[in-house]
Every structure is written in C-alpha cells, then in structure tokens.
Amino acid sequence: MSERIPGFATLAIHAGAQPDPTTGARATPIYQTTSYVFEDVDHAASLFGLSTFGNIYTRIGNPTTAVLEERVAALEGGTAGLATASGHAAQMTTFHCLLQPGDEFVASRKLYGGSINQFTHAFKNFGWNVVWADPDDISSFERAVSPKTKAIFTESIANPGGVITDMGSVAQIARRAGVPYIVDNTLATPYLCKPIDHGADIVIHSLTKFLGGHGNSLGGMIVDAGTFNWSRDRRYPMLSEPRPEYQGIVLHETFGNFAFAIACRVLALRDIGATLSPFNSFLILTGIETLPLRMRTHCDNALAVAERLSAHPQVAWVSYPGLPGDRYHNLAKTYCPAGAGAVFTFGLRGGYEAGVKLVSKVQLFSHLANIGDTRSLIIHPASTTHRQLTDAQKIAAGAGPDVVRLSIGLEDKEDIIADLEQALAD
C-alpha cells in the first residue's frame, strides 16, 4: 500500500513539526536564542562550509522558524522555504539573489502599493529597474521582456482591486524568456491558489496577512518551487558560479532543486539580516493551523458582503472576482476555485466625501491600513494612504476619490453587512 499524501488541513497543522525531543512539548517551542553550541571545531567548520545542515546563528536560521519554513513550503508544494522579517524583506531578499546593477525585471502594474513604491524607488538605489506590464493585456509582458530581463513578477490576486492574473499565460512568457516567474500569493494563500501548479518558480508571501491571520505579527516567506534551471546559462551568477565565501561551492550544483532557497539564506539573509523573530514565527505557525477554516469563512463572508453592496443604491460599482458578473470571475474559477479571497474594493456614488463619511461611521469595522485580520478592516485610500497624490494619480493607482477597500473578517456576516448599511445610511 502506497504512503498516503496528507491533505491540506493536515499539513497546515503538522507539516515540519514533531514533539520536542527533549521535553515532549506538542506545540513547537519558541527557541528564543541568538546562537547554538557546536559539538566541536569540525562540526563548526562543516556548518560554516555548508557541508552539514544545522543551527549557527538565528540571523541565518532558527528551529522555530525552520518549522514555519517547512510548513509553508509544504502547503505551496515547493521544495524549501525561507522566512524573513516582512513581505517587503522577502521581495528584497529574492531580488538580491537574482539581479545585478543594470538588470531589469517585468512586473504587473496591478500590485500592492507598497510593492510599487519599493520597485519604483528603493530598488533604484541598487541599480535594479522595473518595467511595468498590464495584467489585462498578457502580451504586454512579452513586449516588456528585454535581454536585461531577469524575472517576471505578479500577484495571484492583486491588492486591492481583486485582479486575478492569468498565471499560466505569464508563466509561458517567462519560460520563453528563460527567466523565473515570481508570484506574490499573499491574498490568495495556498488554500485558494497554488501558483507553482500554474508555472511559478518562486512564491512570495507577506505572512503578516492571511497566513498569520490575526494582525499580531510581521513576517515574510520565500518558497522555492525547485523548477528553474539556474545553470542553463550564466545569467544568475549567485547560483551558477563558484562562491568565494564558501570555498568555491556552486550552489545549484550542490543543492539542486532547493538551491534558490539556500542562496537566499546564505547569500542574502546572512548579510542583509532581515530575519524573522522566533516569537513571530510561533505566532504565525499558530495562525496557519486554522488557515483552511479561516479562508472558507473569509470567502463566504466576502461574497455575501459584495453581493449586498452591489445592490446598494449608494454604491456605484463593486470589484470582487467572486461575483458572477465581475470581469475576473472566469479567471477566479480557474485559479481560485475555492474562493476569490476576502479583499475587494467598491466605489461610492458620493465620491470623496462619501468615503470619508463611511470610514468615520463604521463601528464593527476597524479603520486602518492592513488586510488579512480576523477582524473586518476598512480604508478610504484617497484620504489616507494616497492622500498626497493628485486625483489623476489616485485614479491611475486604483485609489480614486470614490474607492473604498474592505478586508472582510470572520465576524457573523449579518453583523458585517449591518455595520456597512448603517454607515451608508443618510
């Protein structure tokens, strides 16, 4: 009889974890330590030389965090994971291992605003250049590719507008270009979508959002799909050429289908230092245990709220792929068949003033700049996160004066709807 492959909920609870061998503790302990004792000088030398796996220093790795890394990699169907201090840190770590000064990468225009800012401004300090493409015109990705292109980047479900990317088509473009395809899967989580199944080579998460799920800890994750051939040419020297700091080891030759995760750990995290706290790893692990239950409720509640708002006289439009009439509904059925997520936007007929009034009157919703909490969250971008932009710039960014973003929580759906209706009442 063949060995049974565990289901998603089982992996969410058990992947990467065993009872503590010393105490028998069932929950993964918080190893709140900076460093680890070596057995002898030979053991230390083998660890520093990458010939033995083990703990050296928590900036590079930690036993609590290792369980988190293995669990998320298992849920995504990847070969290995690397945890970081935040989602932004995961992106910085990823691109540090891919790009040299003067290199380019192609990215979807429909992204989390913080990612757009990081790619447009912060990355320029390293000589890394972004070229934008339109996910509603897949051919724009192919047109954006040049000899300088080193990667293609999209989100599975774009924050905040609920844009579903045709990942299979983008993955084909990346294959033809000979570059890795990177997908930020934060809004969908592996419960709703597994980008690796659709051609992604690297998956990124902000663990801060739905994977942690409780609004209490920051974290990021990189998952190596193990699908990209880093040795095919010399375009990725950090993986395909001898590393002088490790006695000439070629990482892809040595570590095979999890070489990218190793490179992120021993070449980027080691020196950039964007390390996840063991305590945050513990909190996020605890959150992941209930991920399937939470995502089902998130999606059920979001669909109910979107349907009610679509019929409200003060609402001009709703952008939620779970609605049958939405332009991304068919893509959602292909890539996110279990649900279209919990984050969406809608437009108020009263424009800017109506948006300010709504966020001022809600009682159950929390007015703040986050998503993925157990609690329902609301923000009016034009008066907060995008306030410094002109109206034209706000509209281009998907944050026009009428736009409100919701992250639907786990409260009773009737209470969520009632709060919005009282806040929209004249």
Read off the pLDDT of residues 253-296 as tens digits, 9 standing for 90 and up.
Answer: 999 999 999 999 999 999 999 999 999 999 999 999 999 999 99
The CATH code of domain 8-287 reads 3.40.640.10
162 pLDDT more than 90: no
Read off the pLDDT of residues 37-61 as tens digits, 9 standing for 90 and up.
Answer: 999 999 999 999 999 999 999 999 9
Whether 90 contacts 221, CB under 8 Å = yes
Cα Rg, the chain, nearest whole Å: 22
Q: What is the mean pLDDT of the chain?
A: 95
**Sequence ranges of the domains in the chain:** 8-287, 291-424
Binned at pLDDT 50, 70 and 90, residue 385 comes out as confident
Q: Which fold has domain 291-424?
A: Aspartate Aminotransferase, domain 1 (3.90.1150)
Least confident among 78-92, 110-124, 270-284: 110-124
What does DSSP assign to residue 342? S
Residue 294 has phi, psi (to 5 degrees) of -65, -45
Nearest Cα to Cα of residue 372 among 163, 249, 206, 221: 206
Read off the pLDDT of residues 208-229 as tens digits, 9 standing for 90 and up.
Answer: 999 999 999 999 999 999 999 9
Binned at pLDDT 50, 70 and 90, residue 161 comes out as confident
Structure tokens at 141: 């990705």
Is residue 186 within a helix (H) or strand (E), and if so which, with residue range? Answer: none
Is residue 201 within a helix (H) or strand (E), and if so which, with residue range? Answer: none
Render the burial of 279-308: b for 16+ CB within 10 Å, e for the rest: ebbbbbbbbbbbbbebbebbbbbbbbbbeb
Whether 201 contacts 179, CB under 8 Å = no
pLDDT on residue 388: 67
